Amino acid sequence: MRQILGTVLLAVLVSVCVAQGKPAADLIITHAKVWTVEQAQPTAEAVAVLGERIVAVGSNADVEAWRGPRTRVIDAGGRLLLPGFNDAHVHFVDGGRQLDAVQLNDASSPEEFKRRIAQRAKITPKGEWMEGGDWDETKWPDSQMPTRQLIDDVTGDTPVFLSRYDGHVALVNSAALKLAGVTAATPDPPGGTMLRDAQGNPTGILKDAAMNPVAKVIPPLTHEQRRKAALRGLAHAASLGVTSFQEMDNGDAAETYADIGVFGELLEENVLTARVYFAPSVVSWDDEAKVGVRRAFGSSYLRLGALKGFADGSLGATTAYFFDPYLDAPGNRGLLSDQMQPPSAMRDRMLKADAAGLQLCTHAIGDQGISIILDFYADIVKQHGRADRRFRIEHAQHMAAKDFDRFAQLGVIASVQPYHAIDDGRWAEKRIGHDRASRTYAFRTFLNHGVRLAFGTDWEVAPLNPMLGLYAAVTRATLDGKNPQGWFPEQKLTVAEAVEAYTIGSAYAEFQDEEKGSLTVGKLADMVLLSDDIFTIDPVKIRDVKVLRTFVGGKAVYTAESLQ
Ligand SMILES: [Zn+2]
């Protein structure tokens, strides 16, 4: 009976709407320079939104027809309206934590580094660890890695685990080594190195898997700490126009599951202001498989079904895995990650994960690391047949010339972080030489070969601000100011190409290109209004462009103070 009444009511409602013509929009943005990222209609003046979706894109007059008495109308004043940015590779809770941690990245000397750590130690509650930092010794006069002795006397009993900005190296103090039971007698683990002094004592610098014994004794984040970090990160993302992000596991699936719990809670409370896709560790692929989760499972706000794996380390830590040795570390070709010990273990789990319908996102930076993962992907296609899998390689930093074609043929997505190019570009050539550097962050070569790009930041490794990523891709001007015309300028992208990679490219990488990534009728109304037109200003100024308004599903999640 109730159902029949419901149906009758619905029929009455529909007839009312029909009688009045089409329903009115909830939101109209007029007098904008709309860049849609939709090939069929690249530009427009206005957009109308009903509920959480776009119902019209066109001229001011076209969209005016959607105006009703309760429609909110925003006059954009001729400013640029884009689809919201989708960051294809983040470590979001780490990033949220970083917003509140000791800042060491711009410390320009070991003395300044020490001073900031001393200050922080004073306010760190007894028994708590000091973490974060994102230090970068390449910004110091002698570019020497720091040691535990540098910070021991200012940190005392407070255990310290300070990450290098690339996340592949940590500096720990003596208190931390003691808690972890790491001594001169501790051997280097597979996939990791511990720097030692002449007597064999640890210097406090731990690379890749050598960080694990210490990381293991750090108490996990409490639910409350995680929640706070997520909320802080969400506010930051909204202020930067990031309306979607893709969370990449850092090697511990339990961490990612705990994050999923927190984001689920925020969704329930209706305070989730960005859309999230989760990629837990490939090592735990069976967790998702056994409950039947497949690629891109979930709602528009919260999805999972991807897996993150690691092939190798990083260039900064000289652990990215190359065919040929590093120039500044003779005999060293880098390291395969602990997940690749042996490589066949990774291949096996990838085959099983693919059979379960899960998406593979694999961190691979060195040319041989990338090549091995392409071999595995090729094996999957050979054994399981062709399908729409959207394999990803995260970073895809240093390509072997022979692998571009293979990358394209296998339909692998290059999930890249343009900011890393202008950062590592300061010193990469010294480490790997001109020839290999010419295929480093080779965005143009990827496009020429028909490879799809997805842009992201790797936040907290790099800043979350998409303007810096667009600036980096378009100018390739290294952060040290030494390449104003661009580092390997032939790899520069146009603004349109960079925006595409940051919107529809990232959406494609998470199987959501039918749902978002362009301002198209029927898609989710995720939009960002910018202070300046990045298509016409001097590209150097793109990094200073600000976000004025951010909308997710038609809801305003950020409005700049100047407009309030
Ligand atoms: Zn990452």
Q: Tell me, what's the pLDDT at 250?
A: 87
pLDDT digits (tens, 9 = 90+) for 153-211: 999 999 999 999 888 899 999 999 999 999 999 999 998 999 999 999 999 999 999 99
Q: Tell me, what's the pLDDT at 125?
A: 85
pLDDT over 70 (residue 6):
no
Neighbours of 527 (CB within 10 A): 26
pLDDT digits (tens, 9 = 90+) for 502-531: 999 999 999 999 999 999 999 999 999 999
Residue 541 Cα to ligand 1 midpoint, Å, equals 27
Side chain identity at residue 19, one-letter code: A
pLDDT digits (tens, 9 = 90+) for 228-253: 999 999 999 999 999 999 999 988 88
Residues, the chain: 564
Residue 123 Cα to ligand 1 midpoint, Å, equals 29
pLDDT over 80 (residue 1):
no
pLDDT over 50 (residue 7):
no
Residue 294 Cα to ligand 1 midpoint, Å, equals 22
User: Mean pLDDT across the stretch 429-440?
Assistant: 97
Neighbours of 355 (CB within 10 A): 12
pLDDT over 90 (residue 53):
yes
Q: What is the DSSP string of 8-66?
A: HHHHHHHHHHHHT-SPPPSEEEES-EEE---TTS-EESEEEEETTEEEEEE-HHHHHTT
Residue 60 Cα to ligand 1 midpoint, Å, equals 42
Q: Tell me, what's the pLDDT at 556?
A: 98
pLDDT digits (tens, 9 = 90+) for 466-501: 999 999 999 999 999 999 999 999 999 999 999 999
Q: Tell me, what's the pLDDT at 4?
A: 44
Residue 459 Cα to ligand 1 midpoint, Å, equals 7
Q: Tell me, what's the pLDDT at 346?
A: 98
Arithmetic mean of pLDDT over the chain:
94
Which SS3 state, helix, strand or coil, does residue 344 take? helix
pLDDT over 80 (residue 11):
no
Residue 156 Cα to ligand 1 midpoint, Å, equals 31
Pairing state of beta strands 453-455 and 242-248?
A: unpaired
- As given in the structure block, the two tokens for residue 262 are 């927190």
Residue 363 Cα to ligand 1 midpoint, Å, equals 8
User: Mean pLDDT across the stretch 363-383?
Assistant: 98
pLDDT over 70 (residue 20):
no
Of the candidates 31, 99, 36, the one whose C-alpha atom is nearest the C-alpha of residue 59 is: 31
pTM over 0.75: yes
| Class of residue 70 by CB neighbours under 10 A (exposed 0-12, middle 13-18, buried 19+) | exposed
Question: How does residue 538 score in pLDDT terms, banded at 50, 70 and 90?
Answer: very high
Residue 530 Cα to ligand 1 midpoint, Å, equals 27
User: Mean pLDDT across the stretch 350-368?
Assistant: 98
Residue 92 Cα to ligand 1 midpoint, Å, equals 10
pLDDT over 90 (residue 392):
yes
Residue 53 Cα to ligand 1 midpoint, Å, equals 31
Residue 89 Cα to ligand 1 midpoint, Å, equals 6
Residue 343 Cα to ligand 1 midpoint, Å, equals 20
Residue 557 Cα to ligand 1 midpoint, Å, equals 26
Residue 17 Cα to ligand 1 midpoint, Å, equals 49
pLDDT digits (tens, 9 = 90+) for 67-101: 999 999 999 999 999 999 999 999 999 999 988 88
Considering Cα of 232, then 236, then 241, then 244, what sign does the dihedral take?
A: negative
- As given in the structure block, the two tokens for residue 491 are 């790899």
Q: How far apart, in whole angstroms, are the C-alpha atoms of residue 203 and residue 147?
A: 5
* Range of lowest pLDDT (166-170, 172-176, 259-263, 299-303): 166-170
pLDDT digits (tens, 9 = 90+) for 412-431: 999 999 999 999 999 999 99
Q: Tell me, what's the pLDDT at 8?
A: 44
Residue 282 Cα to ligand 1 midpoint, Å, equals 14
Residue 417 Cα to ligand 1 midpoint, Å, equals 10
Residue 91 Cα to ligand 1 midpoint, Å, equals 6
Give all strands (DSSP E) within 375-435, no chain letters: 392-395, 413-416
Residue 559 Cα to ligand 1 midpoint, Å, equals 29
Residue 219 Cα to ligand 1 midpoint, Å, equals 22
Residue 553 Cα to ligand 1 midpoint, Å, equals 27
Q: Tell me, what's the pLDDT at 337?
A: 96
Residue 90 Cα to ligand 1 midpoint, Å, equals 6
Residue 122 Cα to ligand 1 midpoint, Å, equals 31
User: What percent of the chain has a predicted confidence (pLDDT) above 90?
Assistant: 89
Considering Cα of 240, then 140, then 539, then 461, what sign does the dihedral take?
A: negative
Which SS3 state, helix, strand or coil, does residue 193 take? strand
pLDDT over 80 (residue 9):
no
